[in-house]
């Protein structure tokens, strides 16, 4: 199957006028077309050259999207800009996995963090995460999955707390790997989970058995079929 960015971006980019110049600056793990400061500088340079610049991103620019840094570069040069909010990955993954992030009976709060590892360890504020009636969403949660699940248990969450890894959320190749904090890392490894993926932890994950509705197309869907 084609890489997800190919599928998801092209249809959107095709909406631009035919004579628009298209510059790919996307990021994939360990394969960034441009570093963040190069993206910032490029936008400034093009805008100062009189171009009308659209910076297209997946998700929401102000939730782990580094939109703040990008427009800060513009503001510093007196360049006018607008920001269009988007469907953040947590919302997309939740809807397409059938997992409400909040629910009157199970979760009165949700917290979003990133799972990036620094020196091999997840730098998370564990005390704020291991609270009752709260859903945890970890963006970029694949590479740190084992460390994150272990850390949550070590700091007080039950090992039986339901957890789901949503791979390629909302795309035709979406796959949801379910388990709990004890089982999910080994299940995900066995199934070859890889980025992009979002980790959702909390009692709301149980609702998926009733509320899951999206049937992805393609080969990978076979792994996601429910009995």
- Is residue 37 a contact point for its own copies (CB under 8 A)? no
114 beta partners: 139
Nearest to 71 by CA among 59, 58, 81, 84: 81
Nearest of 201, 176, 185, 193 to residue 147 by alpha carbon: 185
Q: Which of 8, 9, 114, 183 binds its own copies (CB under 8 A)?
A: 114
Give the interface size with its own copies as a residue count (CB under 8 A).
Answer: 58
Per CB under 8 A, the segment of 2-10, 49-57, 68-76, 149-157 that binds its own copies is: 68-76
Q: Mask of contacts with its own copies, 129-148, x by CB under 8 A?
A: x-xxxx--------------
Pairing of strands 175-180, 162-167: antiparallel
190 CB-near residues (< 8 Å, 6+ apart):
none
- Residue 2 Cβ, how far from its own copies at the closest point, in Å? 23
Indicate which single residue of 21, 82, 120, 219 sits in contact with its own copies (rule: CB under 8 A): 82
Q: What is the footprint of its own copies within residues 140-199 (CB under 8 A)? A: 170
Only one of the segments 1-9, 48-56, 58-66, 159-167 lies at the binding site for its own copies (rule: CB under 8 A); that segment is: 58-66
Q: How far is CA 98 from CA 150, 164, 202, in A?
A: 25, 11, 13
């Amino acid at each position: 199957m084609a890489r997800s960015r190919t599928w998801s971006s092209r249809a959107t980019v095709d909406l631009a006028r035919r004579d628009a110049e298209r510059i790919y600056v996307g990021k994939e793990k360990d394969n960034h077309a441009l570093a963040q400061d190069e993206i910032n500088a490029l936008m400034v340079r093009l805008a100062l050259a009189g171009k009308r610049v659209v910076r297209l991103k997946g998700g929401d620019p102000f939730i782990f999207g580094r939109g703040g840094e990008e427009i800060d570069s513009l503001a510093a040069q007196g360049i006018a800009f607008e920001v269009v909010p988007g469907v953040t990955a947590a919302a997309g993954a939740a809807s397409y996995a059938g997992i409400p992030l909040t629910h009157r009976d199970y979760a009165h709060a949700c917290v979003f963090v990133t799972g990036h590892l620094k020196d091999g360890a997840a730098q998370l504020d564990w005390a704020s995460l291991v609270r009752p009636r709260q859903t945890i969403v970890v963006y970029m949660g694949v590479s740190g999955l084992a460390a994150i699940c272990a850390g949550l248990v070590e700091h007080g969450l039950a090992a039986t707390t339901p957890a789901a890894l949503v791979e390629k959320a909302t795309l035709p190749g979406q796959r949801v790997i379910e388990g709990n904090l004890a089982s999910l890392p080994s299940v995900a490894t066995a199934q070859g989970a890889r980025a992009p993926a979002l980790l959702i932890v909390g009692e709301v994950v149980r609702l998926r058995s009733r509320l899951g509705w999206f049937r992805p197309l393609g080969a990978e869907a076979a792994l996601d079929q429910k009995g």
